[in-house]
Amino acid sequence: MKRVYVNEKWCLGCHLCEYYCAFAASGEKDMARALKDIAINPRIRIEERDDISFAVSCRHCREPLCVKSCLTGALTAQDGVIAIDGERCVGCYTCILVCPYGAVSPSENGAVQKCELCVKNTGSPACVKGCPNGAIVYEERG
């Protein structure tokens, strides 16, 4: 299955992936309008310190601890894509307790949010399309 992979040495720490993520999730047509005057809460996050930076988003694990641990059944694996049903999530944060990557985070509405590879919006990861330096790629690596 295709997943998002990180090439740490190419990451510029520009945070564009975060903006493209937030834009894709907003459902708006115009990026400037969608993101104007808001603090974004993207599903992909840059970690940075000194001259190191890299993007972290859901790994879509084959043995997804978050799905197996979900108290309500809100997290499921659908053809390998780990999806969250915001209606069924009560925000207990058990997925945050178990995700070894720190890739699940609280959303504004009490449920959790995570990368779903843009399957519910643009169809393929907007963060990757927006990365100017190939520091994240969307490909098959077994």
Count the helices and strands in the chain (H runs, E runs): 5, 8
3-state secondary structure of 95: helix
DSSP H or E run through 34: helix 31-35
Residue 40 binds other proteins (CB under 8 A):
no
Query: Which of 16, 77, 92, 119 touches other proteins by CB under 8 A?
Result: 92
Give residues 81-110 in contact with ligand FAD (rule: CB under 6 A): 92
Backbone angles phi, psi at 97, to 5 degrees: -65, -35
Residue 78 binds other proteins (CB under 8 A):
no
Residue 96 binds other proteins (CB under 8 A):
yes
Backbone angles phi, psi at 4, to 5 degrees: -90, 125
**Residues of the shown chain interacting with other proteins in the complex, contacts defined by CB under 8 A:** 3, 5-8, 47-49, 52, 54, 56, 59-62, 65, 68-69, 71-73, 87-88, 90-102, 104-106, 141-142
